[in-house]
Amino acid sequence: MTSVAATARVPHAHHDDRSFIRKYIFSTDHKIIGIQFLFVSLFFLLLGGLLAMQMRWQLGFPGKPMPGGGLLPETMAANGVILPEYYVQLVSMHGTFMVFFAIMPLLVGVYANFLIPLKIGAHDMAFASLFVPEGAIRSGWTNYAPLSARPDLSGVTTGQILWCVSIVVLGLSSVMGSVNYITTIINHRAPGMTWFRMPLSVWALFITAILAVLALPVLQGAAILLLFDQTIGTHFFDPVAGGQALLWQHLFWFFGHPEVYILILPAMGMVSDMIANGSRKPIFGYHSMVFAIIGIAFLGWLVWGHHMFMSGMNPTLGSSFMVSTLVIAVPSAVKVFNWMGTMWRGNLRFHVPMLNAVAFVAMFVIGGLSGIYMAATPVDMFIHDGYFIVAHLHYVLFGGSLFALFGAIPYWFPKMFGRMMSERWGKVHFWLTFVFYNFTFFPMHILGMAGHMRRIYDPTQYEFLKPYQPMNEFISVSAFLLFATQLIFFVNFWWSLFKGKKADLNPWQDNGLEWSLPSPAPHGNWETVPRVYRGPYEFSSPEVSDRDYLPQHEKRPTDREPASATAPAH
Amino acid sequence: MTHATATVDLMRPPFPAEPGAGVYSNKLGMWVFLASDVMFFTALIGTYIILRFGVSEPWAKPNAVLNVPLTAFNTFLLICSSVSMVKAFAAISQGDQRGLRLWLLLTILAGAPFVSVQVVEYIKLVGHGFTPAGYREGSLLAEHAVSDAVKYGAATSGLYGSTFFTMTGFHGFHVTCGVISMTYLYLTKVLPGKYSRQDYRGIETIGLYWHFVDLVWIILFTIVYLI
């Protein structure tokens, strides 16, 4: 035990003589796995965006040939005009790609793998080689039965089967990943990293992993039942043979609602880290933030029925789902107030991660408030399956999760690749995205209140929607500009990968343990286990006079060694 | 220092850490995984309950279609394998290599026949016309169902086949995974004597899984074969 040296010193990078293939392709290093997730899911983000662009073309300019549409086969777009069958595929694939293959792996795959060991002071994950690669798919997001269960109704067989199989594989890999995250956080925290000294990002990823463990297997079960309905002739969701189509909705949303919190909680955690850093103040109400995460996750696990108010549900049951859903607003509001309290009278630094984090808070408020509308059964009766829902889910998923990611990617970029992303282009990207994003999604609220249905192919076929067509065109043009803006991000990302400014140890002057490592972090992380002397948000501490941050691993004369560092382990 | 503390220390990670769950990571990970497996079986069993009690027509009497005595014997076999698993764990925690080899082998030899009997049962059931899609047209069971619609649950055979084969099939898949894992451990770790009184993580972890699979079967046997 005495051989563990003081950890204020920065350890040297380990010599790493593994081959390129061993190091980057079949790696078991948690950081490389995180980076693999990053590249794959950014690719899917781009792909999902491309699908959305085609949808927007059809909605804005129905019946007109799409630029480049001639490249598509006649079965998808006749003479460049998108066909209804292809449009439906676009809708379902956009949803599936974005939820399962872009946002979820970006948040949980990239940052859980990369950050957890770095932030809690572990060498690697508890189980380093537990990862199953995720497969590719072709159909539907909510995949309601009986349409999805009967090939003779949907006209799709192979696509549906592939969807089910890939959901089972993805579920298995996510559950295994979550087992890994939970075990690592419980058992592998460095001495002194007590539960309430953990950064909120780690707390959020921990609770998210628990939520995934308890929710994803239900989706797996449902996908397996659906697969059997399609392939070996079972009748789970087939009403003709006594099966229950609504059962699919229950099973799907029992997973599906926790899933939306799986998609936002890690973003909330990382935003808390970035806002404390950008405000140079300790996070306001740290403990209440932790309990808010736990409360949101627990409530979110129980309220799946609010997706099914229109399914003929017993109104009494509907009321209980409504009330429990509305209660989620309380812990969510606690978080929003705490973020504002953190920024209040802080010494604000508007670097790119901070800008995106503040945008997250603002957009999350809008998305959260519209969520309260649809949680109320009577209001939901009117807006159900309309564009108000589309607006809401994009405000939380794009305005929430994606803004958090646009902050998180440049924030931890130096620790991943040893270089900084360009601040100037990051700011250009941020402002353009912020403006075009609101231009794209805010009018959808109005369309929804006007009765614009979700997933329709051609809004102009309805008399009452015709006056709103200019708004649809405006949304489409904004969406194209929004997509074009993302090219700035991709160029910035790739350019910085090779040409970005070299990063030093702690470019953001942050307190987390990961910033005590060289950039990029070496294989095996620390040579000796770091020790932790305080919480993660000690900014502007009166204990230090020469700078406004006090890292978790820095020992002050008044600090005592953590008891567990000298415990008689071996 | 007592044996107990010496044992625990060797199974901790070889570096200092905050007090965690108090159990080593493999065991903790298995507990978390089993929590997810509980949710998986909850989805399957919940589906069964909802479908069975959601239909108004009668459900088939289990003993009319299934071979209950044979499966009761199979259940007995699986419970015995849980006992032998405990004996294997007790043996190695005392450092008894010979006991470990004997009892783990017996566990494998009870688990493998369970799967085999289930496969034979499936083949016979399908031969009699009981398939995941219900009673096959023109089969023995379909004829019985015409003569006694209540006893054979003529109207609900589709749901019966769907739920029966899915639940027992996924349980059988879990048993198969367990048998394969135990055989692998037996060949690579147990026979070469790699477990000791200080480190028996693999045995305890696979033991947890095995007892869980056993427990699930007792529930399934009750709700599918007995009521």
What is the token pair recorded at A189? 């925290």
Task: Give the mean pLDDT of A36-51.
Answer: 90
Residue B206 CA neighbour count, 13 Å, CB half: 25
Contact A234 B9 (CB under 8 A): no
A222, A255 contact by CB (below 8 A): yes
* Cβ contacts of A9 within 8 Å, gap of 6 or more: none
**Residue length, chain B?**
227
Return the bridge partners of A386, or none. A453
Looking at residue A335, what is its pLDDT? 96
Q: Is B10 on the interface with A (CB under 8 A)?
A: yes
Find how far residue A264's CA is from the centre of its chain. Answer: 6
Of B125, B128, B139, the closest CA to residue B224 belongs to B125
Looking at residue B3, what is its pLDDT? 42
Find which of B162, B168, B170, B205 to mutate to test the A interface (most A CBs within 10 Å of its CB). B162
What is the token pair recorded at A289? 């933030």
CB atoms within 10 A of CB A75: 9
Question: Does the pLDDT value for residue A164 go beyond 90?
Answer: no
CB atoms within 10 A of CB B193: 10
Distance from CA of A106 to the nearest CA of B (A): 22
Task: Report B:169-188 residues touching A (Cβ under 8 A).
Answer: 170
- The least confident of A166-180, A286-300, A321-335 is A166-180
Pair type for strands B130-131 and A77-78: unpaired
Looking at residue A569, what is its pLDDT? 47
Q: Is B157 on the interface with A (CB under 8 A)?
A: no
pLDDT-derived band at B227 (thresholds 50, 70, 90) equals confident
Q: Where are the domains of chain A?
A: 23-563
Q: Nearest residue of A to residue B130 by CA position?
A: A234
Q: What does the radius of gyration of chain B's CA atoms come to, in whole angstroms? A: 21
- For the stretch B157-188, what's the b/e string if a residue is b when 16 or more beta carbons lie within 10 angstroms of its beta carbon? bbbbbbbbbbbbbbbbebbbebbebbbebbee
A228, A236 contact by CB (below 8 A): yes
Q: Residue B155 and residue A313: Cα distance in Å, rounded?
A: 26
Looking at residue A481, what is its pLDDT? 96
Percent of chain B with pLDDT over 70: 94
Rounded to 5°, the CA angle A390-A406-A416 comes to: 140
Q: Residue A235 and residue B122: Cα distance in Å, rounded?
A: 19
Task: Give the mean pLDDT of A1-26.
Answer: 45
CATH architecture, domain defined by A23-563:
Up-down Bundle (1.20)
Question: Does the pLDDT value for residue A6 go beyond 60?
Answer: no
| Plot region of A285 (φ>0 → left; ψ -120 to 50 → alpha; else → beta) | left
Question: Does the pLDDT value for residue B2 go beyond 50?
Answer: no
What is the token pair recorded at A200? 């909120």
Of A289, A277, A416, the closest CA to residue A355 belongs to A277
Q: Residue B27 and residue B25: Cα distance in Å, rounded?
A: 5
Q: Residue A407 and residue B126: Cα distance in Å, rounded?
A: 58
**Residue length, chain A?**
570
Distance from CA of B111 to the nearest CA of A (A): 24
* Cβ contacts of A149 within 8 Å, gap of 6 or more: A226, A229, A230, A236, A237, A238, A245, A248
Question: Does the pLDDT value for residue A13 go beyond 60?
Answer: no
Task: Report B:73-102 residues touching A (Cβ under 8 A).
Answer: none
ipTM of the complex: 0.90
pLDDT-derived band at B123 (thresholds 50, 70, 90) equals very high
Q: Residue A371 and residue A336: Cα distance in Å, rounded?
A: 15
Q: Where are the domains of chain B?
A: 25-226
Contact B29 A236 (CB under 8 A): no
Find which of B39, B53, B159 to mutate to test the A interface (most A CBs within 10 Å of its CB). B39
Q: Nearest residue of B to residue A254 by CA position?
A: B43
Tens digit of pLDDT for each residue in A201-242? Answer: 999 999 999 999 999 999 999 989 988 988 888 889 888 888
- The least confident of A276-280, A446-450, A490-494, B54-58 is B54-58
pLDDT-derived band at B155 (thresholds 50, 70, 90) equals confident
Please, what is the average pLDDT of chain A?
86
Task: Give the mean pLDDT of A432-452.
Answer: 95
> Helices A352-375 and A329-343: crossing angle, nearest 10°?
150
Looking at residue A26, what is its pLDDT? 57
B91-96 long-range contacts (CB < 8 A, ≥24 apart) are B92/B195, B92/B196, B92/B197, B92/B200, B92/B203, B93/B7, B93/B197, B93/B200, B94/B197, B95/B196, B95/B197
- The least confident of A50-59, A80-89, A275-284, A488-497 is A80-89
Looking at residue A3, what is its pLDDT? 35
Contact B158 A216 (CB under 8 A): no
pLDDT-derived band at A21 (thresholds 50, 70, 90) equals low
Looking at residue A370, what is its pLDDT? 92
* Cβ contacts of A26 within 8 Å, gap of 6 or more: none
Distance from CA of A306 to the nearest CA of B (A): 19
pLDDT-derived band at B56 (thresholds 50, 70, 90) equals confident
Distance from CA of B214 to the nearest CA of A (A): 19
Residue A199 CA neighbour count, 13 Å, CB half: 33
- At A11, the amino acid letter reads P
> Which of A187, A192, A218 has its CB closest to that of B25?
A187
Looking at residue A132, what is its pLDDT? 32
**CATH class, range B25-226:** mainly alpha
What is the token pair recorded at A258? 């926790």
Question: Does the pLDDT value for residue B150 go beyond 70?
Answer: yes
pLDDT-derived band at A168 (thresholds 50, 70, 90) equals confident
Looking at residue A518, what is its pLDDT? 87
Residues of chain B with C-beta less than 8 angstroms from the C-beta of A234: 132-133, 158, 161-162, 165-166
Q: Is B129 on the interface with A (CB under 8 A)?
A: no
- For the stretch B212-226, what's the b/e string if a residue is b when 16 or more beta carbons lie within 10 angstroms of its beta carbon? bbbebbeebbebbbe
- The least confident of A33-37, A129-133, A167-171, A185-189 is A129-133
Question: Does the pLDDT value for residue A530 go beyond 80?
Answer: yes
* Cβ contacts of A424 within 8 Å, gap of 6 or more: none
Contact A570 B51 (CB under 8 A): no
Looking at residue A567, what is its pLDDT? 58
- The least confident of A18-27, A274-283, B72-81 is A18-27
- At A27, the amino acid letter reads S
Contact B43 A562 (CB under 8 A): no
Tens digit of pLDDT for each residue in A380-421? Answer: 888 888 999 999 999 999 988 999 999 999 999 999 999 999
Residues of chain A with C-beta less than 8 angstroms from the C-beta of B59: none
What is the token pair recorded at A413? 């970029």
Distance from CA of A197 to the nearest CA of B (A): 11
- For the stretch A504-517, what's the b/e string if a residue is b when 16 or more beta carbons lie within 10 angstroms of its beta carbon? eebbbebbbbbbbb
Find which of A183, A189, A259, A304 to mutate to test the B interface (most B CBs within 10 Å of its CB). A183
Reduced to 3 DSSP states, what percent helix, strand and coil does chain B have, rounded to the nearest 5? 75, 0, 25
Looking at residue A1, what is its pLDDT? 31
Residues of chain B with C-beta less than 8 angstroms from the C-beta of A569: 9, 12, 15-17
Q: Is B223 on the interface with A (CB under 8 A)?
A: no
Looking at residue A100, what is its pLDDT? 84
Segment holding A3, helix H or strand E: none
Residue with tokens 């190091």: A23
Q: How far is CA B89 from CA A24, A345, B101, in A?
A: 39, 61, 10
Hey, is B131 helix, strand or coil? strand
Residue A250 CA neighbour count, 13 Å, CB half: 16
> Which of B18, B43, B161 has its CB closest to that of A564?
B18
Q: Residue B99 and residue A410: Cα distance in Å, rounded?
A: 57
Higher pLDDT, A113 or B176: B176
Q: Nearest residue of B to residue A224 by CA position?
A: B166
Tens digit of pLDDT for each residue in A456-493? Answer: 889 999 999 999 999 999 999 999 999 999 999 999 99
Q: Residue A416 and residue A31: Cα distance in Å, rounded?
A: 7
What is the token pair recorded at B8? 């625990």
Q: Is B168 on the interface with A (CB under 8 A)?
A: no
Find which of B36, B126, B137, B157 to mutate to test the A interface (most A CBs within 10 Å of its CB). B36
Contact B32 A236 (CB under 8 A): no
Of B116, B92, B119, the closest CA to residue B186 belongs to B92
Hey, is A40 helix, strand or coil? helix
Looking at residue A149, what is its pLDDT? 64
Find how far residue A359's CA is from the centre of its chain. Answer: 15
Q: Nearest residue of A to residue B40 by CA position?
A: A217
Tens digit of pLDDT for each residue in A281-325? Answer: 999 999 999 999 999 999 999 898 888 888 888 888 889 999 999
B51, B163 contact by CB (below 8 A): yes
Looking at residue A473, what is its pLDDT? 95
pLDDT-derived band at B1 (thresholds 50, 70, 90) equals very low
Contact A570 B165 (CB under 8 A): no
Question: Does the pLDDT value for residue A257 go beyond 80?
Answer: yes
Q: Residue A435 and residue B127: Cα distance in Å, rounded?
A: 66
Q: Residue B27 and residue A182: Cα distance in Å, rounded?
A: 12
